[in-house]
Amino acid sequence: DAGVIQSPRHEVTEMGQEVTLRCKPISGHNSLFWYRQTMMRGLELLIYFNNNVPIDDSGMPEDRFSAKMPNASFSTLKIQPSEPRDSAVYFCASSRSEAFFGQGTRLTVV
């Protein structure tokens, strides 16, 4: 298996634009997590899914953030509109028992 695949690896966008981050989990994994990592806040859990169903989105910072998992092999995290304070590295992880992480998407909002 290729592991958890995230795209894009880097994204630079202007404030106010919509940003969509993508994640392909490992086949057979039933849980998927979205994390945000910054120097100030560390690794924050934004939302997680079990069997494609969102279980806990209490970590989503604002209504500007939304996440979907339309099927077992794909998830998106969308920010609309984006703001400079959203600049961070966003990680997707999938698990069946232990979690495996993607390489992350480094988002810069200018």
Partner 1 sequence: AQSVTQPDIHITVSEGASLELRCNYSYGATPYLFWYVQSPGQGLQLLLKYFSGDTLVQGIKGFEAEFKRSQSSFNLRKPSVHWSDAAEYFCAALWGGYNKLIFGAGTRLAVHP
**Residue closer to partner 1 (CB basis): 17 or 38:** 38
C-alpha–C-alpha distance, residues 98 and 105, integer Å: 21
Segment holding 46, helix H or strand E: strand 42-50
The residue behind tokens 């400079």 is: 84
Residues from 56 through 85 that contact partner 1 (CB under 8 A): 56
**Residue closer to partner 1 (CB basis): 81 or 100:** 100
Q: Which of 25, 27, 18, 28 is nearest to 91 (CA)?
A: 25
Looking at 19-27, 30-38, 69-77, 79-87, which segment touches partner 1 (CB under 8 A)?
30-38
35 contributes a contact to partner 1 by CB under 8 A = yes
**Residue closer to partner 1 (CB basis): 81 or 89:** 89
Contact 35, 90 (CB under 8 A): yes
| Site residues for partner 1 per CB under 8 A | 31, 33, 35, 42-43, 45, 48, 50, 55-56, 91, 93, 95, 97-104
